[in-house]
Amino acid sequence: MRPRSTNTVLPPETAVTPSLPRRLDGSGSVCSQHRRRRIFLQYIAQYIVLSGFTEGGNISMRHHLFLLQTLSALSILCASSAFAEAPGFSRDEKGAIIASLDTTLNANYAFPDIARKIRPVLQEHLKKGAYDSATTKAAFASKLTDDLIKVSGDLHFLVATDPEWIAEFKAKAKPALKAKIRQEEASRLEETNFGFDEVARLAGNIGYIRFSYFADPEFAYDTAASVMRFVGNTDALIIDLRYNNGGHLEMAQFIASYFFSSEKDQLLFDYYYNEDGKRIQRGQWVLPGLPGKRMVDKPVYILTGSTSFSSAEWFSYAMKKLGRATLIGERTAGGAHPVARKPLNDDFFVQVPIGQIQDPVDHGDFEGVGVQPDIASPSIRALPVAHKLALEHLAKTDDARRTEFAWLLPGLTAAIERPHIDAATLTKAVGKYEGRQIILDNGTLYYIWRDRFRVALEPIGPDLFAVEGVSDFRYRLHTLNGKVTALERVNKDGSIQRYPRLD
């Protein structure tokens, strides 16, 4: 029996580094080559007309000065990102978007009282010119996102521009295009294996599943079932959600159902949500039919981190509350509310929290506070910690394999208690940089964004650091005269973004 799917909870922005939620930076493009050439030729033509050539080919000092001023002005214009921006984004246009946002929130946001508080704040900011510096749509969207989160305390809010998605959203109302769009969506999800990044049998017959989002079961059913079959014969299971940004609750329901008996009804969580102004209630229960074997007695360990978000948190929370998993790692991000994307116009959309979810035990949730692990560990060390715990548990119940476990445990201990790096050599990296900061905590450097999302930095060379859970970029310290002046993001493709030091 395949679980029903809805579109009320979205897959993550996979843009996404698989690990961290992204922020639009609103940076402008550089002055285009054709535009530079056109302006340059216009100035030179003006220069020639004004100057002419004297006998002997000499040019007057006045014309020399004009040429120098011309070239100077040209260099300034082409150095300015604003020069390459689209035409100005007016206050009236921004006001129209805020009005549309207000209408959308009043119709869909799960908390009407908070929705009514948002518009006055945004209008006041608009009136006082707080948005005047946002000369691009992306920059304005980023400021709106910040303000929505600040007023509501709800990390699910996101305003962004995506004309292509909005066109697709509107096209879905047309039956002729709906099937085509769904097929294109399925193809995109296939390219990421529906979020399943790794499935393995670790030493000691411990199953391991790592996935970066909960895909729509309508598309991912067969892949998810294959993953669960693969780990069906293991003696314990580790589910890695440290870098999982959420997605469809129906996939969380499908996977969780493997760890409960089908002989009795078991509620996983109650789901209350708003859809176009209507309040809807729906319970999500353990599914009665599944492909492959259930694992009702298998020890389960779930790895969590500060970037575990939304459905990843609900899966962890429900499994913990129902006594079916041990959580290891760090407190999760604290995004308990299901969301939906809603267009604001042909360019802008808002990701809005449309409901609430409650656990079946004490009817609580974790919005804004996160899910606490049972065993606290830096998330970067959580896997060897869980692996070691699983083996230690098995060693107590399987005398025949104690020698095997005794051989494996020292290696895991070394992976957990890595050689200590002298803090003095790392202190120079500590500080505030544009939009982010680096701290030193118990001998480990941590990169912090928005005062909430925190990932470890591991030294891999002089002034170069690997980022926990990320494989496509690193951070490098930029030094001048022995002092760190900036933090550089070094991408896999060789490009670099620099964030100046602020302290």
pLDDT tens profile 382-397: 999 999 999 999 999 9
pLDDT at residue 178, rounded to an integer: 79
pTM of the model: 0.68
Across 322-351, average pLDDT: 95
Ranking 154-163, 166-175, 252-261 by mean pLDDT, the lowest is 166-175
Secondary structure element (H or E) that encloses residue 339, with its range: strand 339-343
Ranking 13-17, 200-204, 462-466 by mean pLDDT, the lowest is 13-17
**From CA 152, how far away is CA 114, in angstroms rounded?**
6
**From CA 236, how far away is CA 396, in angstroms rounded?**
13
pLDDT at residue 335, rounded to an integer: 87
Q: Residue 214 forms beta bridges with which residues?
A: 247
User: Is residue 10 predicted with pLDDT exceeding 60?
Assistant: no
Report the amino acid identity of residue 257: S
For residue 219, what are the contacts with CB-CB under 8 A and spacing of at least 6? 185, 186, 189, 190, 194
**From CA 183, how far away is CA 166, in angstroms rounded?**
17
User: Is residue 367 predicted with pLDDT exceeding 60?
Assistant: yes
- SS3 assignment, position 361: coil
Let me know: does 104 contact 112? Beta carbons within 8 Å.
Answer: no
pLDDT at residue 454, rounded to an integer: 92
Name the DSSP letter for residue 56: G
The residue among 219, 477, 244, 484 whose CA lies nearest residue 379 is 244
Across 434-450, average pLDDT: 90
φ, ψ dihedrals at 162, nearest 5°: -160, 75
- SS3 assignment, position 494: coil
User: Is residue 37 predicted with pLDDT exceeding 70?
Assistant: no
Give CA 206 to chain center in angstroms.
Answer: 29
User: Is residue 81 predicted with pLDDT exceeding 50?
Assistant: no
User: Which strands, in side-by-side order, build the sheet including 267-275?
Assistant: 278-285, 267-275, 355-358
More confident residue, 35 or 254: 254
User: How far apart, in Å, are the Cα atoms of 409 and each of 199, 335, 343?
Assistant: 21, 35, 53
More confident residue, 21 or 246: 246
**From CA 448, how far away is CA 437, in angstroms rounded?**
5
pLDDT at residue 97, rounded to an integer: 97
User: Is residue 35 predicted with pLDDT exceeding 50?
Assistant: no
pLDDT at residue 422, rounded to an integer: 65
Whole-number average pLDDT of the chain: 83
Q: For the chain, what is the radius of gyration of the CA atoms?
A: 27
The residue among 334, 246, 274, 356 whose CA lies nearest residue 104 is 274
Ranking 46-60, 80-94, 388-402, 449-463 by mean pLDDT, the lowest is 46-60
The residue among 336, 407, 423, 418 whose CA lies nearest residue 383 is 418
User: Is residue 93 predicted with pLDDT exceeding 50?
Assistant: yes
Let me know: does 477 contact 488? Beta carbons within 8 Å.
Answer: yes
Let me know: does 202 contact 193? Beta carbons within 8 Å.
Answer: no
Letter string b/e over residues 231-266, b meaning 16 or more CB atoms within 10 A of that residue's CB: beebbbbbbbbbbbbbbbbbbbbbbbbbbbeeeeeb
Let me know: does 295 contact 276? Beta carbons within 8 Å.
Answer: no
User: Is residue 376 predicted with pLDDT exceeding 80?
Assistant: yes
User: Is residue 25 predicted with pLDDT exceeding 50?
Assistant: no
Ranking 98-107, 118-127, 172-181, 419-428 by mean pLDDT, the lowest is 419-428
**Pairing relation of β-strands 278-285 and 267-275?**
antiparallel
pLDDT at residue 182, rounded to an integer: 84
**From CA 406, how far away is CA 117, in angstroms rounded?**
60
pLDDT at residue 74, rounded to an integer: 43
User: Is residue 488 predicted with pLDDT exceeding 60?
Assistant: yes
Over residues 40-66, the pLDDT tens digits come to 444 343 443 334 433 344 444 444 444
User: How far apart, in Å, are the Cα atoms of 479 and each of 369, 457, 467, 487?
Assistant: 37, 18, 20, 9
Over residues 202-258, the pLDDT tens digits come to 999 999 999 999 999 999 999 999 999 999 999 999 999 999 999 999 999 999 999
Across 78-99, average pLDDT: 68
**From CA 500, how far away is CA 430, in angstroms rounded?**
13
More confident residue, 176 or 479: 479
pLDDT band at 277 (very low <50, low <70, confident <90, very high): low
pLDDT at residue 337, rounded to an integer: 85
**Pairing relation of β-strands 300-304 and 326-329?**
parallel
User: Is residue 313 predicted with pLDDT exceeding 70?
Assistant: yes
3-state SS of 120-164 is HHHHHHHHCCCCCCCCCHHHHHHHHHHHHHHHHCCCCCEEEECHH
Across 141-151, average pLDDT: 96
User: Is residue 423 predicted with pLDDT exceeding 80?
Assistant: no
Fold assignment, 195-334+364-412: 2-enoyl-CoA Hydratase; Chain A, domain 1 (3.90.226)
Let me know: does 302 contact 323? Beta carbons within 8 Å.
Answer: no
